[in-house]
């Protein structure tokens, strides 16, 4: 996987879109604490990918990718809860969960790729 910067990584691009989608979807959510936490966890994914890659250390990059993966799992959990509370449409929820699972797989693949080089 050849890349010069985090902006080249498809997983970073998709996690940015996931964060934007979360903000837009939750715009009118009346449960502020859940909305805030979902926005924070979604925003954390691309932010940690970028921070880890910018540290110029394979070990740091892998550590931050694992943090991003954890934040992504947190976001997915919160999506399930928001859906059960009736705050998210079930179809939209399915889309968000599916994308989150794909991002998680992509992060795991990137982690393995970096570790194989090290």
**Does residue 46 sit within a domain?**
yes
Contacts of 104 (CB under 8 A, 6+ apart): 69, 72, 73, 76
Condensed to tens digits (0 to 9), the pLDDT of residues 65-106 reads 999 999 999 999 999 999 999 999 999 999 999 999 999 999
**Does residue 2 sit within a domain?**
no
The domain tally of the chain equals 1
Find the CATH number of the domain harbouring 58.
Answer: 1.20.1440.60
CB 53 within 8 A of CB 9: yes
Mean pLDDT of the chain: 95
**Does residue 82 sit within a domain?**
yes
pLDDT band at residue 13 under the 50/70/90 scheme = very high
**Does residue 1 sit within a domain?**
no
**Does residue 113 sit within a domain?**
yes
What is residue 48's predicted lDDT score, i.e. its pLDDT?
98
Q: Is the pTM of this model over 0.85?
A: yes
Condensed to tens digits (0 to 9), the pLDDT of residues 15-62 reads 999 999 999 999 998 899 999 999 999 999 999 999 999 998 999 999
Domain range for residue 107? 7-117
């Amino acid at each position: 996987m050849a890349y010069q910067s985090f902006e080249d990584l498809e997983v970073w691009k998709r996690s940015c879109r996931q964060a934007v989608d979360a903000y837009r979807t939750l715009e009118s959510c009346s449960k502020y604490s859940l909305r805030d936490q979902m926005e924070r966890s979604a925003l954390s994914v691309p932010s940690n990918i970028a921070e880890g890659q910018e540290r110029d250390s394979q070990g740091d990059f892998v550590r931050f990718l694992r943090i991003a993966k954890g934040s992504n799992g947190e976001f997915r959990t919160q999506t399930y809860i928001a859906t059960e509370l009736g705050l998210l449409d079930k179809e939209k929820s399915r889309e968000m969960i599916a994308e989150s699972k794909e991002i998680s797989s992509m992060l795991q693949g990137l982690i393995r790729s970096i570790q194989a080089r090290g």
